[in-house]
Amino acid sequence: MSKTAAIVGAGIAGIAAAIRLAVKGYRVDAFEANAYPGGKLSGFSLDGFRFDAGPSLFTMPQLVEDLFRLADRNPNDYFEYRRLNETCRYFWDDHTYLTAWADRDAFAREVESQLGEPADHLLAHLADSAAKYHITEKLFLHRSLHKLATWFNRDALYGYLNLPKLEVFKTMNRANEQRFQNPKLVQLFNRYATYNGSDPYQTPATMNIIPHLEYNIGAFFPKEGMIGITNNLVRLAEELGVRFHFNTRVTELVTEGERIVGVRTENESKPKPYDVVISNMDVVNTFRRLLPNARQPERILRQPKSSSGLIFYWGIRREFPELGLHNIFFSSDYRAEFDHIFNRKTLSDDPTVYLNITSKHKPDDAPPGCENWFILINAPNNTGQDWDALIAKTRQNVIQKLSQNLGVDIAPLIACEAILDPIQIENRTSSSQGALYGNSSNNRFAAFLRHANFSHQFRNLYFVGGSVHPGGGIPLCLLSAKIATDLL
């Protein structure tokens, strides 16, 4: 008889783990508290506009394709995407403007003409980013850091020999200041710390690995929008026999000695036994809520969390040809902005505004002549701030900043609005403090302070998702599912 597996949560990592287990022959039940799959990677419609609720940048599509191939399917039969020829448009309040082209040489020329920064500085930075990636890739991204075998092989040896190149003892900001003359380019590359919810003035320069994904491997757009990733993986999972149970919150993992012997849900009083349990619930809340009587790995659970986000979804009754799919309007004092987020735990009056408009590539996401604006402001994680006041203040600041930059009053153009704040993020996905990426990576040992993909206490319990190794963001979540299921 086939073995059985329960997945707690149908976020992207839970779905990927379900697919991998089904391919291994397990009978899989995926329990999801919400009425829909995908967790943060979900979407919704409002007054004729469609919005992706969370992630907007798609990198490393091969990790999605791997799941189809693993199941002997042709990814093209399910899922289409294309490479972007520009990764982002950057705007500063002094009207400096820059397009980050996917073509590295074109980007380097743009940097030289717009910012006066020698093109070879940019090319050297991207080469360094690639080198960092190749040193860490096999060691950190594809394996559990918590197994001895990871540390005794050729990849590890390569890592030890090249350790200085990772620049663990320098901050990202310091490394970028040493690389670039123009503070605007320092700011642009400091921005990559936010891709895992960290502070460029604290996180180690090792995180300069991140631009490699966007510039050297590429940024992509799924034909159906980001929600297409979730929908097509769910379709694949269902074809493989995975049973999704929506509106079904797991309330307890029943333990006996070194095993999980039952999964209790809010819909059934009697716990159901499974051979294997994989939690896609944030690891802090897996322990605090589902395993309150187990030994709590306090050192890991109490690590400072990543930043969160404040998101405005606006249906806009006008088109802006000067905007692209991804746009950034930088704050004039980046250091002060991060000081507000990570030290003062509040929002500055001049936040950097990220504006994503999928209707640029998928016109049916907005009515004719309109655009669907997804605006993300990096925000502190939830520590009990007065969010209503912060949202009201920030909404005004964002309108003012965009109006000034675009030369038109934005407020009367907002046809409809939805808002997502750190409290809602926490409520909708059980992410501790509404953090977008689990623990922050502000500490140089952060990689070692994420929970392993397996339990040290319960032999049949595994962990996947943005709160555990190797980290947050779609690619790393997909890799967490690979690492966890490879350990079985």
Residues at the site binding ligand FAD, with contacts judged by CB under 6 A:
8-14, 31-34, 39-41, 54-57, 249-250, 280-281, 309, 311, 376, 425, 429-431, 436-437, 465-466, 472-474, 477
Give CA–CA dist 308/376, Å, rounded: 10
Give CA–CA dist 212/404, Å, rounded: 32
Least Cβ distance, residue 10 to ligand FAD (angstroms): 6
Residue keyed to tokens 């039952």: 262
DSSP state of 439: B
Q: What is the DSSP string of 92-104?
A: -TTS-EEEEESSH
Residue with smaller CB distance to ligand FAD, 38 or 315: 38
Residue 51: strand pairing partners? 44
Residue keyed to tokens 């200041």: 177
Least Cβ distance, residue 379 to ligand FAD (angstroms): 10
Residue with smaller CB distance to ligand FAD, 204 or 434: 434
356 three-class SS: strand
232 three-class SS: helix
Least Cβ distance, residue 452 to ligand FAD (angstroms): 15
Give CA–CA dist 107/85, Å, rounded: 11
Q: Is the dihedral of CA 414, 51, 312, 213 positive or negative?
A: negative
Least Cβ distance, residue 461 to ligand FAD (angstroms): 14
Residue with smaller CB distance to ligand FAD, 186 or 263: 263
Q: Is the dihedral of CA 406, 408, 409, 410 positive or negative?
A: negative
Residue with smaller CB distance to ligand FAD, 179 or 305: 305
Least Cβ distance, residue 287 to ligand FAD (angstroms): 12
Residue with smaller CB distance to ligand FAD, 248 or 331: 248
Least Cβ distance, residue 91 to ligand FAD (angstroms): 19
Residue with smaller CB distance to ligand FAD, 13 or 301: 13
Residue with smaller CB distance to ligand FAD, 205 or 310: 310
For residue 50, give both structure tokens.
Answer: 């469609």
Least Cβ distance, residue 320 to ligand FAD (angstroms): 21
Q: Which residues of 48-75 are buried (b: 16+ CB within 10 A; e: fewer)?
A: ebbbbbbbbbbbbbebbbbbbebbebeb
Least Cβ distance, residue 28 to ligand FAD (angstroms): 14
Least Cβ distance, residue 288 to ligand FAD (angstroms): 11
Least Cβ distance, residue 422 to ligand FAD (angstroms): 10
Is 488 within 8 Å of 461 (Cβ atoms)? Answer: no
Residue with smaller CB distance to ligand FAD, 122 or 474: 474
231 three-class SS: helix
Residue with smaller CB distance to ligand FAD, 180 or 462: 462
- Measuring CA to CA, which residue among 108, 103, 117, 158 is closest to residue 135? 158
For residue 89, give both structure tokens.
Answer: 């448009």
Give CA–CA dist 48/67, Å, rounded: 33
Residue with smaller CB distance to ligand FAD, 277 or 413: 277
Residue with smaller CB distance to ligand FAD, 108 or 377: 377
Residue with smaller CB distance to ligand FAD, 11 or 380: 11
Least Cβ distance, residue 277 to ligand FAD (angstroms): 12
Alpha helices (H) along 191-316: 210-211, 227-239, 283-285, 298-301
Q: 10 Å Cβ neighbour count for 151?
A: 14
- Measuring CA to CA, which residue among 9, 5, 7 is closest to residue 428? 9
Least Cβ distance, residue 153 to ligand FAD (angstroms): 28
Assign residue 362 a region: left if phi > 0, alpha if psi is -120 to 50, beta otherwise? beta
Question: C-alpha angle with apex 378: 377 to 384, nearest 5 degrees?
Answer: 105
Q: Which residues of 81-117 are buried (b: 16+ CB within 10 A; e: fewer)?
A: beebebbbbbbbeeeeebebbbeeeebbebbeebbeb
